Structure 1
């Protein structure tokens, strides 16, 4: 009887270890670097910088409401951290080249470029990722987190933003950045 329990325990343990995903994720990358002095991290609820008026179409309002939070992690080059820049960009490129990230757009080359990808299904996106790098300035990664976001609707939002139909609440956004700067000083 004791050997049956041992075999059962080993079987459960084996299943748990085989189910653990050791693949690096963008979320782990953010968590591992949030307190690193070479990085700047900001988490913003969507309501902090997006506001919309009642005249917008329901689809636009739903698209805005599907955005829950934006997390930004930046690695500005300052002379003392340039040695790690290429290895950090390589790590992010490896993460974003995983099959689960669906590429929307990629422009540039190895020294300067931008990539936009998403997680989820086209009409039910959970996360949109913007990754931009410049070997002279550093890199920035932004995660737009939401619930059932729609690529087409998000692209329409960008158009409406350019037309002025959607207003950025930059005063509150700038106020938050100033407070963060004061904390870091």
Structure 2
């Protein structure tokens, strides 16, 4: 009887642990298998910064960011239905209460938003989402530990000082119209 109770408890925990709800991470993983998507993972090493040239604030901000995941869907005349479907899936995921909206912009055919996961001064993930009906959409996940909005703004200033290795960004060139 004791074994049956233990087995039942273990099985119940396993079922509860298997969350079937869509998550942004699952969406990224599943989408990389499709030819309509381009995925790129970047670490802060891409910036090729000299640590001695960073201010204390910049160094602190850089240390809170672990990596960035970029997922882009290139829309064209042949895949508009899939574009709309994928965009709807993504928007459903981002409506989850764990994604707190910081900012949203929209102008009919295009729009964007910035979300975060975590507490105001201990953010674990920033999500930047942008879409344009004729071009597609892109989602950028900035993953880190104890980030804050000021860290992201500081990172933008660090980008100006960086010597980015553009070779790592080659897969995204297909998204930019020539």
Measured against the shorter chain, the TM-score band is 0.7 to 0.9
Structure 2: gaps (5+ residues)? 174-178
Q: 1:124 aligns with which of 122, 125, 128?
A: 122
Structure 1: gaps (5+ residues)? none
| RMSD, aligned α-carbons | 2.3
Please name the residue that 1:140 is paired with.
138
**Highest Rg: 1 or 2?**
1
- The structural deviation recorded for 1:129 is 0.6
- Asked if the contact 1:127/1:143 (under 8 Å) is kept, the reply is yes
Residues 78-105 of structure 1 show CA distances to partners (whole Å, capped at 9, x for unaligned) of 2222111111111111111111111111
Counterpart CA distance in 2 for 1:126 and 1:45 is 15
- Asked if the contact 2:40/2:171 (under 8 Å) is kept, the reply is no
SS at match of 1:142: strand
TM, length-normalised to structure 1: 0.82
Counterpart CA distance in 1 for 2:172 and 2:111 is 28
Q: 2:3 aligns with which of 2, 5, 26?
A: 5
TM, length-normalised to structure 2: 0.85
Q: 2:162 aligns with which of 144, 147, 168?
A: 168
Please name the residue that 1:177 is paired with.
169
